[in-house]
Amino acid sequence: MNHPARFPKPCRYNGRQYVKKHKIEINLEVYDSVSELPQDIQKLMNKAQQAREDAYAPYSRFKVGAALQLDSGETIIGNNQENAAFPSGLCAERVAIYQAGAAYPTASVKTMAITARSLKQETTTPIPPCGACRQAIAEYEIKQESPIAIYFMGETGKVAKAASIADLLPLLFDKSYL
Ligand SMILES: [Zn+2]
């Protein structure tokens, strides 16, 4: 799969031109609210919201929920699981996608819905996955050879959609470099 987030190869430099500019464009769609989403995505986001409330986030007080729709019909949820030894915790997105990989190793993830709620203030802007989670999502997108649509939001307000991890992680590192 020629993944759109990969660096274009071969990268040729001609003669005296040592520096080339390479412009990367990403595309997001933004919905005004959950109610604007297609019905099936609303349901998935609703599952992410339910999962979010069960997050174990006593340290950050920032609860995140994720829900995945698999092509086999199953829905997988995840939420952040924190730890007193901070790096031992894990984000909602990776909890969910690793669970999907463990329980349904041959299924493909079609869609991921993500929502976050701070216990300190109202979260009204879309909350994208962190860099580490983007890398994990990219691995599964490349593995399954089909894009994962990612919808993300705060507690209320607009919902952003990336049609592929390529739009959230340009120039990703993948197996093609190994
Ligand atoms: Zn993360």
pLDDT digits (tens, 9 = 90+) for 52-81: 999 999 999 999 999 999 999 999 999 999
pTM: 0.92
Determine the Cα–Cα distance for residues 132 and 115; give it in Å rounded to an integer.
17
Instruction: Give residue 137 CA to ligand 1 midpoint distance, Å.
Output: 10
Active site members: 93
What distance in angstroms lies between residue 98's CA and the mean position of ligand 1's atoms?
12
For position 19, what pLDDT does the model report?
75
Ligand 1 centroid–CA 125 distance in Å is: 17
Tell me how far the alpha carbon of residue 129 lies from the centroid of ligand 1, in angstroms.
5
Q: What is the pLDDT of residue 84?
A: 98
Give the Cα separation of 109 and 96 in Å (integer).
Answer: 11
Amino acid symbol at 114: I
51: Cβ contacts below 8 Å, ≥ 6 apart: 65, 66, 67, 77, 78, 79, 92
Q: Are 93 and 114 in contact (CB under 8 A)?
A: yes
The CATH code that applies to domain 29-177 is: 3.40.140.10
Q: Is 11 annotated as a binding-site member?
A: no
Predicted confidence at residue 14, as pLDDT, reads 58
Tell me if 36 sits within 8 A of 30, measured CB to CB.
Answer: no
H helices within 23-160, ranges in order? 39-53, 92-103, 131-144
Across the chain, which has 178 residues, the per-10-residue mean pLDDT values are 64 62 92 98 98 98 98 98 98 98 98 98 97 98 97 98 97 92
Residue 29 makes CB contacts below 8 A (sequence gap 6+) with 160, 161, 163
